[in-house]
A and B are shown apart, each in its own frame.
Chain A
């Protein structure tokens, strides 16, 4: 795809992102005319409860969708290149399991374990995710073959799931329901101050992701070739893992595990741009992720379903298409 065409593609993606954001802010459970929506956003004269809905519910939620979509998609892209596996996603290193363990302990087990002043769910999720990633990065400096890391991440996830299942088994049914609902993901529980933190962390993660562009490009040729081209494998892995922690870890802490976006959207970006270099794929994945997640948020509002159901319905066909067309495997 020529440079000119690429510019058109990016312009369209940015335009689509803005358009969907606006749509997401304009639509909701309450009927608010577009003029009032606009007035609420620009500080015009409007009923305070309308302004509250538009600014503190819809605007926040749409921004959360934007940030999470970008973060998950970029993180998924990184994992797919790092592990040379088109089915890798942001949770392949165990982030979502770690977060769910933290939340499970708080929601299901704190009475049991005698934790008298439980931390908030966000904090618990973040500690869980960060702990798993710390363990993974400690191990990653010691092993040569990246595939070992992949397997370790998957095994760790399974072990943690088993523990979480035990906690679920022993818990009170109200707690269980709360936990199950957490696993369905939710973009709407984030408050304004929390959004500031989410934005800061995602921005930091994306900045670090920019530093991973060159390493990821080199890694396309495989780890062996990468080393002969001057890549410091240990350091690159650390930076990539750091970026993924900030991106996927923070999203999961604030919104619960949101599936399929990180896995499927990089493939959509590849299909749209027809490029393999990350200088193009990174921003493309980010924009595609944002567009799709904001779209899913819209749909989840209209159908009153949790966000993960919608992302699954969108993401699964994409994954199937990837596997069937086997583009990454073809000679």
Chain B
């Protein structure tokens, strides 16, 4: 479902993050993106999301090239969650999640019954149903993060990309989140790629891991990645 080949990404002319990397992450799987700080995890996610053109290479997300498709079509294919904290006064959680339906609503953004059901469903999935009418600005970072995830879920896309989704959450919530992602992947056929520093959690819950190391990509199923990391003394 996420397929890229010969991908080269540079931050600056002399700073190559990835050179000629390739990988294939199938549908219905949960994949964790790991790597040292500054190795290019966020940049890779942005590139896959269609936000930042790569220097060279091919990308196919659910058989769509993000750089050759209309913004609306792309938004119906990929949903993205970042760590950016939104600060807007008077914005209710319900309104934020409702924005996730934007790729499906008409020119004035009218929400049909269907769309409203989606919003409630998404809020329920992340366990934030009681927060629906609260203001986003009154939530903690973790709660806010979950609302942004609900928005991505309401977007109902086959692919979801998340940048450090566990970063503001306490341990129980982290586990809950990863379990939710696993459920979406395995029981709803979504292809989910998320970056994280939580190595243990990643290895224990993901189907595969994507490692960025020295401008190269290593893609291995979770158990094999564990061995690989030990063998090469990465992160130790």
Contacts and interface: CB of A to CB of B under 8 A. Distances in A.
Interface of A: 210-211, 213-214, 217-218, 220-222, 224-225, 227-232, 270, 273-277, 279, 327-331
Contacts of A231: 71, 102
A214 B109 contact: yes
A229 B108 contact: no
B203 interface: no
Contacts of B73: 230
Interface stretch (B81-89, B173-181, B187-195, B226-234): B81-89
Given A232-B72, A328-B89, 16 more contacts: A220-B91, A224-B82, A224-B84, A229-B75, A230-B73, A230-B74, A231-B71, A231-B102, A273-B90, A274-B90, A276-B91, A279-B108, A327-B90, A328-B88, A331-B85, A331-B87
Interface in B54-75: 70-75
A276 B70 CA distance: 27
21 contacts: A210-B108, A211-B107, A214-B105, A214-B107, A217-B95, A224-B51, A227-B51, A227-B71, A228-B49, A228-B51, A230-B71, A230-B73, A274-B90, A276-B88, A276-B89, A276-B90, A276-B91, A276-B95, A279-B108, A327-B90, A328-B87
Contacts of A274: 90
The 9 closest A-B pairs by CB, nearest first: A230-B75, A214-B109, A230-B103, A230-B72, A228-B80, A276-B91, A276-B90, A327-B89, A229-B102
B74 A213 contact: no
Contact of A232 (B49, B71, B100): B71
A217 B71 CA distance: 16
B155 interface: yes
B27 interface: no
Contacts of A328: 87-89
Interface string B88-125: 11111001100110110101110000000000000000
B76 interface: yes
Contacts of A270: 89-90
Contacts of A330: 87, 89, 137
A213 B51 contact: no
Interface in B22-70: 49-51, 70
Contacts of A211: 107-108
A230 B76 contact: yes
A213 B108 contact: yes
Q: How large is the interface on B (under 10, 10 to 19, 20 to 34, 35 or more residues)?
A: 35 or more
A260 B108 CA distance: 29
A218 B89 contact: no
A225 B84 contact: yes
Task: Summarize A's interface: helix, strand, loop or mixed.
Answer: loop
A331 B103 contact: no
A230 B92 CA distance: 21
B185 interface: no
A217 B109 contact: yes
A214 B103 CA distance: 11
Contact of A213 (B75, B87, B109): B109
A171 B89 CA distance: 48
B-side binding surface: helix, strand, loop or mixed?
A: loop
Contact of B99 (A210, A213, A218, A279): A218
Contacts of B88: 220-221, 276, 328
A238 B96 CA distance: 24
Contacts of B105: 214
Given A217-B99, A331-B137, A229 B155 contact: yes
A281 to B, nearest CB: 9
Contacts of A232: 70-72
Contacts of B72: 230, 232
**Which of A217, A221, A230 gathers most chain B CB within 10 Å?**
A230
Contacts of B17: none
A231 B80 CA distance: 14
Contacts of A224: 51, 82, 84
Contacts of A225: 80, 82, 84, 86
Contacts of A230: 71-76, 102-103
B126 interface: no
A227 B80 CA distance: 10
B80 A222 contact: no
Nearest to B102: A229
A68 to B, nearest CB: 25
B98 to A, nearest CB: 9
A304 B63 CA distance: 69
Contacts of A221: 86, 88, 96, 99
Nearest to A218: B102
Contacts of B109: 213-214, 217, 279
B13 to A, nearest CB: 18
A277 B92 CA distance: 9
Contacts of B74: 230
A186 to B, nearest CB: 35
